[in-house]
Chains A and B, each alone.
Chain A
């Protein structure tokens, strides 16, 4: 049978992920049966809900991959939409912000993804941080309401920044022209997603098994030093082990994975701080066991643009 190297690598990656999920489902079922004896148990039930949601998320990513660039752009467009909706829903806004928020949803979001689609790097890398950042306060000012103006404006800007600008850097990875890696850019996304989410899961596992000392008790009670060090170290190793699917050699893959993990960790911290400020535990309730879209994506948000620029700086001539 004639399978391209890209297809073969992709199938191997998805096969590996499916293997891990089968193992996780088996462990979850065993725990439910042995420890909880079929009765409701908050930790075990949450674990199983998370694993089931992972199956669904992997299936959705797989489907998007099958459709190639278009599929990935549509998927992340929707992800940005739901993330922005969660963000703005929790932010304090007033009636005077209506036009600014409408512009964020109906202009900022589609234009950013359109620019990624047509691969206009020069514009999509500044469209939100320059143009949207100037136009949004203008629209809010036209609304005529000055009460807490600066705070309201910056919340909408920041929402657009993390939910649209940062997330759009995931599909933007498809636009990078890396010599010798042509036609395989989807694997760059697979690497990012596997490392970032692997780091989250491994931090959770290490934290649950050995976690004692909290990293930032006032921000996130579940983050411990043991979880952080164990999770980041093992996810870095995981990234290094995946070098064959990337344009990196093993130590480059390890460094890249380490950067991704650290940015992801700090992303989670920042997003927790925002949640704390608003007095909520989760951004939403979209994904069973995980909370909202932003709860699942907080680490991707911070890792994606840095990963993108590191790749662009060192690997694109």
Chain B
């Protein structure tokens, strides 16, 4: 009871802090928030990604949506455990490949079949390099095939990478945006490669205009 109450308060505090720090703003460009079972798939550059995405969902949808998180990270300390399990009700998956608790895709599939909405990062890991978006792992495809009725909403989280880059302690208060795009569906007979390419393009299409042309290309194009 007390733990539950604490979790609610902590959730509000985290959302408040995320809002203060990043002034986060949600843009629903291809769809509107709907109380339909949804799998949100987003780019992953920071530990704060799912917090930000989760914070921008309307409160009633937030209660129905669970982030998919790495167990090794979120079970590493009591505080993380409380935040991961109690505040966010995260679906903890094992990334070490030990096979205990089933493989991640099966775990997500089970949760989706149980009626949960999920937030997942199809790159599989945090993108800490210069690349805009890592190649997508096949998990998204398997989930789309296993749960055809779930809405697949692409999401682009902008700027968060710069708020707290890997290996730094002090967050910088930059403005972040979370863009929700048009849901995609697995087409009849579509293969894995084609579907993942489409999902990737749907995510990249949500980038802000100024981020479309990679900076290096832009510089190269203007140099005579």
A residues near B, CB below 8 A?
A: 81, 85-86, 88-90, 92-93, 95, 98, 101-102, 105-106, 148, 278-280, 284-286
Contacts and interface: CB of A to CB of B under 8 A. Distances in A.
Interface string B208-220: 1110100100010
Contact of A85 (B174, B210, B212): B174
B173 A90 contact: no
Interface in B152-189: 159, 162, 165-166, 168, 170, 172-175
A98 B175 contact: no
Contacts of B212: 279
Nearest to B215: A92
Given A98-B165, A98-B168, A85 B215 contact: no
Contacts, number: 40
Contacts of B166: 95
B209 A105 contact: no
B210 A89 contact: no
- Main DSSP-derived SS at the A contact region: helix
A90 B168 CA distance: 21
B175 A93 contact: no
B23 interface: yes
Contacts of A88: 172, 174
A285 B23 CA distance: 10
Contacts of B168: 98, 102
Nearest to B128: A95
Nearest to B168: A98
Nearest to A151: B219
A49 B71 CA distance: 47
A85 B23 contact: yes
A86 B175 contact: yes
Given A148-B219, A280-B209, A280-B210, A89 B165 contact: no
B223 to A, nearest CB: 12
A279 B210 contact: yes
Contacts of B162: 93, 98
B25 interface: yes
A92 B219 CA distance: 12
9 contacts: A86-B175, A89-B159, A101-B172, A102-B168, A106-B170, A148-B219, A278-B210, A279-B210, A284-B175
Interface in B29-62: none
Contacts of B165: 95, 98
Given A90-B210, A93-B162, A148-B219, A102 B174 contact: no
Contacts of A102: 168, 170, 172
Interface string B184-201: 000000000000000000
B161 to A, nearest CB: 9
A278 B209 CA distance: 9
Nearest to B23: A85
Name the 9 nearest CB pairs between A and B, nearest first.
A89-B175, A279-B210, A95-B165, A278-B210, A89-B174, A102-B170, A279-B209, A101-B172, A98-B168
B19 to A, nearest CB: 13
Contacts of A90: 210
Contacts of B172: 88, 98, 101-102, 105
A88 B176 CA distance: 11
Contacts of A92: 215
A105 B219 contact: no
Nearest to B209: A279
B172 to A, nearest CB: 5
A109 B25 CA distance: 24
A101 B219 CA distance: 23
Contacts of B170: 98, 102, 106
Contacts of B210: 90, 278-280
A285 B25 contact: yes
A105 B164 CA distance: 14
Contacts of B159: 89
